[in-house]
Amino acid sequence: MHRFRIGGPVILLLSLIALAMSIGCGAARKASPPEDRNARGALDDGLRALESGQTDSALALFTEALDLEPTLAEAHYNRGLCRQKRNEQVLAVLDYTEAIRLRPDFSEALNNRGAARFEIGEVDLARDDWEAVLALHPDSAQVHFNLGRYYAEKRQWNRAVIQYGEALAQVSEFPRALNGRGIALLRAGRPEEALEDLNRAVGMDPSRSLYLYNRGVVHEALDEYAEALSDYTRAVELDPSLGPAYLNRGLLYQRLGSKDLGCMDLGQACELGLCDRYRQMQRMSECP
């Protein structure tokens, strides 16, 4: 089972624009002092720009708001979001940290700082942030999901199963949590239960190539080769850039005696950036 590449779920950010508008700008509109209006106006304009996908414009507007009012926590928070969208994770951490300094119970900023920290490899600090959010909101499905991803990253599969289960206890129709728990169950040596979760995830979102690919991995672990080939094939039809699906399908074709099909898939996996992985597997194949 160790040779399979399994695709994991992404870290979830909390809903940012709507939350920022409700917890920040909405309250400010009721009674903002005259000297505060320009900063709030820049914040509002930034939120509208962010909502319409104009990340660079939004970033400039949130910076303008902070030039006018450096203690505006919502502006730090939303500028952090812009920086995450631009993959400027370290800068995002700085903005979220300032938002939290100004508002220690700013759970959305804590969650998203955890996400940014996770992306730059500070996974234990990310866990600390998410646990701080749970102290404020113990029923947050999104944060339980993120902690599941943390424990999966640490390869603590049974703890990951528990956290994904907590997320699903709050939101049963949560395909990303089902996908994550399915992976963790497989790694914990419980492939039949993993298949149940991935069947549910695929049923909820049949066009998600990652779920199909991961279900294919589980089918292969259960020696259900026809089903595995079907899932790998559907996954690459939906996402032709999904290199691990070509790699696993190619190796499975070879195990089943279809050398030419296997070599085609392994070559495609190499073209998609998995050459090192492919070369490691060449000893298992007969491809040139």
Domain assignment of residue 255, yes or no: yes
Residue 73 lies in a domain: no
Residue 257 lies in a domain: yes
Q: How far is CA 28 from CA 32, 70, 105, in A?
A: 5, 15, 18
**Per the domain annotation, does 256 fall within a domain?**
yes
Domain with residue 273: its CATH number is 1.25.40.10
19-23, 74-78, 280-284: the lowest-pLDDT one: 19-23
| Whether the predicted pLDDT of 275 surpasses 90 | no
Would you say residue 216 lies in a domain? yes
Whether pTM exceeds 0.75: yes
Residue 9 amino acid letter: P
Q: What is the pLDDT of residues 50-79, one digit of tens each?
A: 999 999 999 999 999 999 999 999 999 999
What's the structural domain count of the chain? 1
**Phi, psi angles (nearest 5°) of residue 22:** -80, -40
- Longest Cα–Cα distance of the chain, Å, equals 77
Q: Give pLDDT, residue 59.
A: 96
Any domain includes 239? yes
Residue closest to 58 by CA, chosen among 21, 103, 8, 4: 21
Residue 230 lies in a domain: yes
Going by pLDDT thresholds of 50, 70 and 90, the confidence category of residue 27 is very low
Amino acid at 265: D
Asked, for residue 272, whether it belongs to a domain, the answer is yes
What's the one-letter identity of residue 54?
Q
Q: Residue 285: pLDDT band by 50, 70, 90 thresholds?
A: low
End-to-end CA distance of the chain: 25
- pLDDT tier at 22, thresholds 50, 70, 90: very low
Domain assignment of residue 285, given as a range = 206-288
